[in-house]
């Protein structure tokens, strides 16, 4: 039997980093087993579901490189994903079939009745759940004007057991669960019903999702059994916590996948890091996606929550930046430089940026840091010098640069080796340290006191620009 998995986000906001990990694990398992990976947008909450949120989710998945197998508008009513809302008639049909079979029933309890019921239960220290008051009553007793809901006639005795691929065998006593609503009075299905019907109709063989759905699973298993449908395998993933051990949230920073893209992380680095949250393969830290597909299985998923560690993510991102082709890396950094400079780079400037990459890569961890570290190459003259750079340009330093400028102007071979040789010879002649003249040069050429090797910077800037910048700084 072919494996079929799905990622089913609700389009009520951004693609959360926890949701991205769930999508990744589903995608990897499908690829590992040669199965299918479907995307289903659970858009039944019409008040909160927005087209913008849907596009944000799709965009995040595309950025991470996760393609889904139902990405064909021809089979999805013009969409490139399944819409849960469009299946609402099918959901209602199943609910009514369950009433006919005796597995569900109409409940005519009013909202006021249910509110009073819960208040009494709370006052008496009892669990707040539906008390089954319409479970065995005939419709002839129904009050006028009340649109009934359809409730599952859940088993009241015995137990429900789930054999989870990650968490092991878990059992819940049926008396802890109540007769949940399947179909609302307005004819719209609840989440519990819609998920089960969709998973069954899509042929889902493995439901891989966060362990916050564990209670839902026991309720949904009862729907499967009531319909006589084959159960899928379940795999519940441990929660992702923030660095402080609390549930990952906005206060920890960057909860959305788009935040990581905007901060300058590479998608392959984010995927690599998400893979390592609760999954492992020995001591391997850097795992390319092709290797992850080969190795991925449920046995390697731990049961304990994972803590999100930005230090580790930065380390992994730095690795992938270092392994990226210089020209490609320049293109990836281009939007960040455009943002910093307020303009796009010319093709000549892009060539310079690519040439700068070998010296930039070891110094940065994100694409945004590349932009910060290289924008001085493309700033208009005269450069604005920061406070530390200005302090470097003492009257004595300016005098040295004035003499060196004559030697720079005379250079016919403007390479970093030739420039360095001039400065070293000058430092020996004047009996001063090389840094006493190299640092002022750095300040003049970059406007800062921190940069890649300054003589290589000079070579990339070119003779004309170097002379102009030095003159700006000393005159």
Catalogue the active-site residues: 250
List the one residue out of 468, 441, 469 whose CA is nearest residue 456.
Answer: 441
Q: Which two tokens stand for residue 105?
A: 């029933």
Residue 181 CB contacts under 8 Å (≥ 6 apart), including other chains = 107, 149, 150, 151, 190, 192
* Residue 254 zone, left/alpha/beta (φ > 0; ψ -120 to 50; rest): left
Instruction: Say which DSSP state 83 is in.
Output: E
DSSP three-state, residue 90: helix
329: buried, middle or exposed (CB in 10 Å: 19+, 13-18, 0-12)? buried
Return d(Cα 475, Cα 471) in angstroms, integer. 6
127 phi, psi to nearest 5 deg: -60, 140
Return d(Cα 262, Cα 238) in angstroms, integer. 27
For the CA atoms of 206, 207, 209, 211, the dihedral, rounded to the nearest 10 degrees, stands at: -100
Residue 138 CB contacts under 8 Å (≥ 6 apart), including other chains = none
Looking up tokens 């966060």 gives: 210
Do 91 and 194 form a contact (C-beta atoms < 8 A)?
Answer: yes
Do 15 and 53 form a contact (C-beta atoms < 8 A)?
Answer: no
Q: Which two tokens stand for residue 218?
A: 């026991």
4 phi, psi to nearest 5 deg: -130, 120
Burial string for 166-181 (b: 16+ CB within 10 Å, else e) reads bbeeeebeeeebbbbb
Q: Which two tokens stand for residue 305?
A: 């929550």
């Amino acid at each position: 039997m072919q494996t079929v998995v799905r990622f089913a986000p609700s389009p009520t906001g951004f693609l959360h980093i926890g949701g991205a990990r769930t999508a990744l694990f589903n995608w990897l398992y499908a690829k590992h087993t040669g199965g299918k990976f479907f995307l289903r947008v659970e858009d039944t909450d019409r008040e909160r579901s927005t087209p913008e949120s849907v596009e944000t989710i799709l965009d995040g998945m595309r950025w991470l490189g996760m393609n889904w197998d139902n990405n064909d508008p021809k089979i999805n009513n013009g969409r490139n994903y399944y819409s849960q809302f469009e299946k609402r008639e099918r959901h209602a049909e199943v609910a009514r079939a369950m009433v006919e079979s005796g597995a569900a029933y109409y409940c005519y309890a009013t909202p006021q009745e249910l509110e009073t019921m819960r208040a009494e239960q709370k006052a008496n220290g009892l669990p707040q759940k539906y008390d089954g008051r319409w479970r065995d009553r005939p419709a002839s007793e129904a009050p006028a004007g009340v649109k009934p809901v359809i409730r599952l006639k859940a088993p009241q005795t015995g137990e429900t057991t789930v054999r989870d691929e990650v968490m092991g065998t878990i059992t819940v006593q049926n008396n802890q669960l109540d007769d949940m609503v399947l179909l609302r009075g307005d004819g719209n299905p609840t989440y519990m019903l819609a998920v089960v019907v969709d998973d069954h109709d899509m042929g889902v063989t493995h439901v891989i999702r966060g362990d916050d759905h564990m209670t839902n699973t026991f309720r949904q298993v009862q729907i499967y059994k009531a319909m006589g449908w084959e159960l899928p395998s379940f795999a519940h993933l441990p929660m992702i916590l923030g660095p402080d051990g609390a549930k990952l949230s906005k206060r920890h920073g960057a909860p959305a996948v788009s935040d990581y893209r905007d901060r300058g992380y590479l998608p392959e680095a984010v995927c690599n890091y998400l893979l390592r949250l609760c999954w492992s393969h020995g001591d391997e830290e850097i795992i390319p996606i092709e290797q992850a597909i080969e190795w991925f299985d449920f046995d390697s998923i731990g049961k304990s929550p994972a803590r999100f560690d930005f230090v580790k993510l930065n380390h992994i991102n730095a690795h992938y930046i270092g392994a990226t082709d210089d020209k490609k890396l320049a293109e990836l950094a281009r939007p960040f430089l455009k943002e910093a400079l307020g303009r796009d780079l010319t093709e000549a400037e892009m060539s310079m940026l690519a040439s700068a990459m070998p010296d930039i890569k070891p110094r940065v961890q994100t694409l945004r840091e590349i932009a910060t570290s290289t924008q001085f190459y493309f700033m208009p003259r005269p450069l604005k010098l920061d406070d530390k750079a200005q302090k470097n340009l003492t009257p004595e330093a300016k005098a040295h640069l004035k003499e060196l400028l004559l030697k720079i102007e005379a250079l016919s071979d403007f390479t970093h080796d030739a420039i360095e040789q001039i400065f070293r010879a000058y430092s020996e002649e004047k009996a001063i340290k090389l840094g006493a003249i190299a640092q002022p040069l750095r300040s003049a050429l970059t406007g800062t006191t921190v940069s890649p090797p300054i003589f290589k910077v000079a070579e990339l800037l070119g003779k004309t620009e170097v002379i102009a910048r030095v003159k700006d700084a000393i005159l």
